[in-house]
Amino acid sequence: MSVTFEVQGRCAILTINRPEARNAVNAAVAAGIEAAIDRIEADDELWVGILTGTPPAFCAGADLKEVQGGTAGGLFTERGGFGGFAARQRTKPFIAAVDGPALAGGTELVLAADLVVATGRSTFGLPEVKRSLVAGAGGLFRLPRKIPENVAMECVLTGDPIPAARAAHFGLVNELVEDDGAVAAALALAERIIANGPLAVRESRRAVLASTHLDDDEAFALSRQAMGTVAGSADLREGVAAFIEKRPPQWTGR
């Protein structure tokens, strides 16, 4: 299965299970995550979700082979957006348990979570510009919400990753833990949440999100506008081809 579902007490653990592809999101992963969230939202006995990936990576983002093959639409679901998660409206809190690289769409999945636990070998980044792509699944507006704007701008414009320790320093990561300990630490954090009144937790989460940030619909519209500028460009095709062929891209600016 591309996404596994495990229940521990009142917590559900969703694991992206494509280690051979560094857990890159394909249509099966997106559909699997959306179905799992449906299950969590519908189950009154489940109060917290954890999203993680089978090591050695959390998620490498979109499966660029599907992008090149013209089937990128399957990476998005109607309600969840990218990976069935990035744009999903939820009532229950989610923790991202990161043990390894979370890059491109992988970082955008992390940013869509409410809390983040990460190991020291984890990295975060939005390398889309290196392939003449635009981070269109929330990264362009969620990253500067989580870390200082100038640091977020550095990540977006250079495409270079930042290590977990730096991400924790700036507040992107709630808890930095030993390698292989992300899920255990996320479960411990979940238990601290589960100890509280579930309705109060959900309403408090909703109020924080509603009062702190720009409306996501408006923010996604800005991201879609940026994506539309590069969609169909020669540089986009070259960036994806260069990645798959493992060679430096030859940009033309067109």
Query: Are the beta carbons of 139 and 161 closer than 8 angstroms?
Result: no
Residue 221 placed within a domain: no
Q: Which ranges of 102-158 would DSSP assign to H, the alpha helix? A: 105-112, 139-146, 149-158
Which residues lie closer than 8 Å to 108 by C-beta, 6 or more apart?
Answer: 61, 82, 83, 86, 126, 135, 137, 138, 139, 142
The answer to whether residue 110 sits within a structural domain is: yes
Instruction: Report phi then psi at 28, rounded to 5.
Output: -65, -40
Q: How far apart are CA 234 and CA 222, in angstroms?
A: 22
Q: Mean of the per-residue pLDDT values for the chain?
A: 93
Any domain includes 121: yes
Question: Residue 229 pLDDT more than 80?
Answer: no
Kind of pairing, strands 94-98 and 76-77? unpaired
Could you tell me the pTM of the whole model?
0.90
Does residue 15 belong to any structural domain of this protein? yes
Determine, yes or no, domain membership for 211: no
The pLDDT value given to residue 64: 84
Say if residue 226's pLDDT is above 80: no
Residue 230 lies in a domain: no
- The mean pLDDT value for 178-187 works out to 98
For residue range 112-163, what is the model confidence (pLDDT) as tens digits? 999 999 999 999 999 999 999 999 999 999 999 999 999 999 999 999 999 9
Identify the domain containing residue 43 by its residue range: 3-177
Question: 128 an active-site residue?
Answer: yes
Selected catalytic residue, list 128, 149, 191, 238: 128
- Residue 120 is predicted with a pLDDT of 97
Query: Which of the following is catalytic: 78, 108, 191, 238?
Result: 108
- Give the distance, in angstroms, between the CA of residue 4 and the centroid of all CA atoms in the same chain: 17
Do residues 122 and 164 make contact, with C-beta atoms less than 8 angstroms apart? yes
- Say how many domains are in the chain: 1
Q: How confident is the model at residue 67 (pLDDT cuts 50, 70, 90)?
A: confident
User: Which residue, 180, 128, 175, is CA-closest to 156?
Assistant: 128
In the chain, the percentage of residues whose pLDDT exceeds 70 is 99
- Does residue 164 belong to any structural domain of this protein? yes
For residue 20, indicate whether it is catalytic.
no
CATH number, position 12 = 3.90.226.10
